[in-house]
Amino acid sequence: MKTKIIKYNLFVVTLCVVWACQSTQPLSQKQSNSLAELVTQSPVFSKGFTGFVLFDPITQQTLFQQNAAKYFTPASNTKIFTLYTALQILDDELAICNYDIHGDSLIFWGTGNPLLLHPEHDHSDTLIHFLKQHRDKKLFLSNHNFQDDRFGSGWMWDDYTGGFQAEKAAIPIYGNLAWIKTDSNRTISIEPPYFGDRFRFSDQLTSKHARTSRLERSNDFIYNQKAHQEIGYSRVIPFIHSPEIVAQCLRPLVGQEIHLLEKEIPLEKKIFQQSMPDSVYRQLMLPSDNFIAEQLLLLCSDRLFDTINTSKIIAYAKDSLLADAPDQLRWYDGSGISRYNLFTPRTIVYVLQKMYQQYPEERLFSLFAQGGVSGTIRKWYAAEQPYIFAKTGTLRNLHCLSGYIKTDNGRTLIFSFMHNNFNSSSQSLKVEMQKILEYIKANF
């Protein structure tokens, strides 16, 4: 595989060096002391454990650091590593399926493509159109290349009904979620239609907040009377994925039976693919979609190994793409759901720096949430012109924010804020971080 790197020509590099010499001045002692005071003497940060790094990608200087080499649970800051891995390996191409034609039969394998029949994405019917073009063939689906578990390492078993924890799969459908909603007549429905006869009323669903749920060990969905009370009520609940469900959901759409087959992918297999839309990467980074994160790593695994396994692709990324990271990566999933993940602030800055070197700023910043504008920071870090382009990471008792900041002096700096072990809402942390980032914007 050829790693995709954007090479800047000598003229552009020369301009960058000249610009750096002219407009990037060393920190004054006053600037350094003021920033240090804001970070290290914060009464909010002192209630937990905080790490912070501020880095200049032009001069390659670390402008400020606190606990830069200490390990933190990153939560969804893990998606920064997933994004970089996907950008490097997938080469802006999305494999829809692997397939092989034998006489009157077409055998196909999933690639991890997350878009199939996903209600919130374009290109969700591409595989269906492909299969329809082969109506003269018998269709067989093999799941042999899925060499993984349905949940990531360290995921919570009792989050099985949480829409943020959809199962991983070689050929997911509908985002591996059941989409439940009520219409203007307060009629409640479920999609995919396959689950229609397994969606029933239950007077035993009496939790104060629950209107809909799923039984733990089966795809039996239940709802109570409260589900009818609100027009426009909606919820997504993960279902237990299986190739059988995929085949049954595809059959009426393709117009013929899809048989299951346990068969390895042959060396001479073909790949049906399309261009990878940046909207997939934005879905990963702006609303912080866990399902997209996991499936992107599976797509990478399929691309390199013809098998779908999260641990295998993470090991490759650690050894090949991120081999010169300043600290060892404790990396276990694509989304950051797992609390096993441990990264240091300076390692997150390292990955952000690699992306800044290798991809045009305009495209790169479009993939991150913008302060006051979009994604998980649309209500924070607002300014007349967006100046924060970053990824959040939040689990109970921790909050992180890492990305890029544009200063009033025309500089682009890289930062990573990581907060763990605080026993309060993240609201006060965000207020404090905004104060510090506004200071950097105005004074650096």
Domain ranges of the chain: 10-88+284-443, 96-277
Tell me the C-alpha to C-alpha distance, in Å, between residue 311 and each of 249, 333, 391.
Answer: 29, 8, 23
CB 292 within 8 A of CB 169: no
For domain 10-88+284-443, give the CATH superfamily: DD-peptidase/beta-lactamase superfamily (3.40.710.10)
Tens place of pLDDT per residue across the chain (444 aa): 444 433 333 333 333 333 333 334 455 666 767 899 999 999 999 999 999 999 999 999 999 999 999 999 999 999 999 999 999 999 889 999 999 999 999 999 999 999 999 999 988 999 999 999 999 999 999 999 999 999 999 999 999 999 999 999 999 999 999 999 999 999 999 999 999 999 999 988 876 778 999 999 999 999 998 888 889 999 999 999 999 999 999 999 999 999 999 999 999 999 999 999 999 999 999 999 999 999 999 999 999 999 999 999 999 999 999 999 999 999 999 999 999 999 999 999 999 999 999 999 999 999 999 999 999 999 999 999 999 999 999 999 999 999 999 999 999 999 999 999 999 889 999 999 999 999 999 999
| SS3 annotation, the chain | CCCCCCCCCHHHHHHHHHHHHHHCCCCCHHHHHHHHHHHHCCCCHHHCEEEEEEEECCCCEEEEEECCCCCECCHHHHHHHHHHHHHHHCCCEEEEEEEEEECCEEEEECCCCCCCCCCCCCCCCHHHHHHHCCCCCEEEEECCCECCCCCCCCCCHHHCCCCCCCCCCCCCCHHHEEEEEECCCCCEEEECHHHHHHEEECCCCCCCCCCEEECCCCCCEEECHHHHCCCCCEEEEECCCCHHHHHHHHHHHHCCCEEECCCCCCCCCEEEEEECCHHHHHHHHCCCCHHHHHHHHHHHHHHHHCCECHHHHHHHHHHHHCCCCCCCCECCCCCCCCCCCEECHHHHHHHHHHHHHHCCHHHHHHCCEECCCCHHHCCCCCCCCCCEEEEEEEECCEEEEEEEEECCCCCEEEEEEEEECCCCCCHHHHHHHHHHHHHHHHHC
pLDDT at 54: 98
Q: Is the peptide bond before 192 cis (omega within 30 degrees of 0)?
A: yes
- Whole-structure pTM value: 0.91
> How many Å apart are CA 115 and CA 281, to the nearest integer?
12
- Please, which residues have CB within 8 angstroms of residue 29's CB and are 6 or more apart in sequence? none
pLDDT of residue 4: 41
Q: What is the largest CA-CA distance in the chain?
A: 76
Label residues 407-444 b or e (16+ Cβ within 10 Å = b): eeeebbbbbbbbbbebeeebebbbebbbebbeebbeeb
